[in-house]
Structure 1
Amino acid sequence: MVKILNVKNLEKTYFSGSKSLNILKDISFSVEAQETFAIVGPSGSGKTTLLGLCAGLDRPNSGVLELCGTDISKLSEDQRAKLRNEKVGFIFQDFQLLPTLTALENVAVPLELQGDKKAIVNATSLLEKVGLGNRLDHYPSQLSGGEQQRVALARAFSNKPDILFADEPTGNLDTETGDKVINLLFDLNKEIGTTLVIVTHNIELAQKTNHILKLKGGSVVENIKLT
């Protein structure tokens, strides 16, 4: 299988004055195309930092990080932004919807910015798939947490990304709502053929994936392929 994400000897250290904090230490792993992959570990283990590096939102201090066949550690910020726009989707714990836009607009605007002439039609179709066909004109403040995350799901899949990064996608949801969102996430992922990388504290969620990477203290302590 093709490796869509390849990480070798990754290090991330933050500096403050004369002090340094080594967040990630010699991290190596790879993710195959269309794999579902979970990054787990206790709070402070470096999960979210690692996700941000893999998605090109931040730079490592050293190591190789290949995303969609490109060594992103060597790209400029503009080049990384272009790669993210074309190849990458995101889902965040706090939804990150634009409060002044309706559900439909939150999904359609990114498509319009990419020149999609059927942005409204395609956004409507995605929202119908996540069960929000009757909530198109509602603003985020008029939607429940679960509904907001379903809008975020539709938006994340709107550009049919090669890889989607989800950071604690059920962290702000109750168990029942979270389960519904996860089922939708996996269903859409399978339908579109995206690679899914999830950071989660939820072991049950992690066990739904093909592959689990466990961090502790900024280091890999387990790398288990389940299927």
Structure 2
Amino acid sequence: MAKILNVEHLKKSYSSGSKKLDILNDISFSVEQGETFAIVGPSGSGKTTLLGLCAGLDKVDSGRIELCGQFIKDLTEDERAQLRNQKVGFIFQDFQLISTLTALENVAVPLELQGSKSAVTVAKELLEKVGLGDRGHHYPSQLSGGEQQRVALARAFSNQPSILFADEPTGNLDAETGEKVVELLFNLNKELGTTLIIVTHDMDLAKRTERILKLKGGRVVQENTVAI
């Protein structure tokens, strides 16, 4: 199968005063189209930084990333934004819904940015799929954490992304609510044939994916194929 993400010899560091902090050191891996993939490791191991680099939200120091057939380093800021808008979906631990927009409007935003004339129709269908068909007119502040994350799920899939990055998608949810969100995430992902990359510290969640990459101290320490 075709590789949708290819990471080669990635390095990233940040300056803190006079010190240089190495966050990622010589990271290489690839993910195939349609695969489910988890990145795990303790806090401070570089998981979220790696996710942001792979999605083109930040720039690498050295190495290269090929996402959806394009080398991120070669793209301008606008081209990277266009690639994300057309091919990439995101789910964050803190939901990142727009507080002044209703649930329906939040889900429709990526489609409207693409100029879709059926944005509202598609958004309504997705809210139905995540069990919130009757909550479209509610604002984020009127929804529980689990409901907000389900809206975020619907939004992430609204532009039918080729690849979806989920950063600790159940991190702010209780166990029962988190399990429901995970079920929805994997069901929608399977239905739409999306590639799914999850950053998590939850090994039970990671084991639901086909492959696990383990980071420690900014390096890859293990890569497993998980039996489904």
- Common fold by TM > 0.5: yes
- Displacement of 1:115 in angstroms is 1.1
Whichever residue aligns with residue 212 of structure 1, its letter is I
Does 2:73 correspond to 1:76? no
- Partner of residue 175, structure 2: 175
- Partner of residue 186, structure 1: 186
Does 2:37 correspond to 1:45? no
Determine if contact 2:214/2:223 at 8 Å carries over to the other structure.
Answer: yes
Whichever residue aligns with residue 158 of structure 2, its letter is S
Whichever residue aligns with residue 54 of structure 1, its letter is C
Secondary structure of 1:57's counterpart equals coil
After superposing the two structures, state which structure 1 stretch, 111-120 or 174-183, moved more: 111-120
- Displacement of 1:202 in angstroms is 0.4
- Partner of residue 89, structure 2: 89
Q: TM-score, normalised by structure 1?
A: 0.98
Q: TM-score, normalised by structure 2?
A: 0.98
- Displacement of 1:16 in angstroms is 3.5
Whichever residue aligns with residue 53 of structure 1, its letter is L
* Rounded Cα–Cα distance in structure 1 between residues aligned with 2:54 and 2:38: 13
* Rounded Cα–Cα distance in structure 1 between residues aligned with 2:203 and 2:17: 38
After superposing the two structures, state which structure 1 stretch, 7-16 or 205-214, moved more: 7-16
- Partner of residue 225, structure 1: 225
* Rounded Cα–Cα distance in structure 2 between residues aligned with 1:113 and 1:66: 24
Secondary structure of 1:37's counterpart equals strand
Whichever residue aligns with residue 157 of structure 1, its letter is F
- Partner of residue 111, structure 2: 111
* Rounded Cα–Cα distance in structure 1 between residues aligned with 2:136 and 2:8: 43
Whichever residue aligns with residue 196 of structure 1, its letter is L
- Partner of residue 216, structure 1: 216
Secondary structure of 2:30's counterpart equals strand
Whichever residue aligns with residue 84 of structure 2, its letter is R
* Rounded Cα–Cα distance in structure 2 between residues aligned with 1:158 and 1:96: 15
The one-character-per-residue Cα deviations of 1:67-122 (angstroms, maximum 9, x if unpaired) are 01111022221111111111100000000001111110111122122111111111
- Partner of residue 11, structure 1: 11
Does 2:125 correspond to 1:125? yes
Whichever residue aligns with residue 113 of structure 2, its letter is L
- Partner of residue 26, structure 1: 26
Percent of residue pairs identical? 74
* Rounded Cα–Cα distance in structure 1 between residues aligned with 2:108 and 2:160: 13
* Rounded Cα–Cα distance in structure 2 between residues aligned with 1:139 and 1:12: 38
Secondary structure of 1:56's counterpart equals coil
Root mean square deviation, CA, Å: 0.8
Determine if contact 2:85/2:110 at 8 Å carries over to the other structure.
Answer: no
List structure 1 segments (4+ residues) > 6 angstroms apart after TM superposition: none
* Rounded Cα–Cα distance in structure 1 between residues aligned with 2:178 and 2:147: 11
* Rounded Cα–Cα distance in structure 1 between residues aligned with 2:74 and 2:114: 25
* Rounded Cα–Cα distance in structure 2 between residues aligned with 1:99 and 1:49: 26
Gaps of 5+ in 2: none
- Displacement of 1:226 in angstroms is 1.9
Secondary structure of 2:173's counterpart equals coil
* Rounded Cα–Cα distance in structure 2 between residues aligned with 1:169 and 1:55: 16
- Displacement of 1:17 in angstroms is 4.4
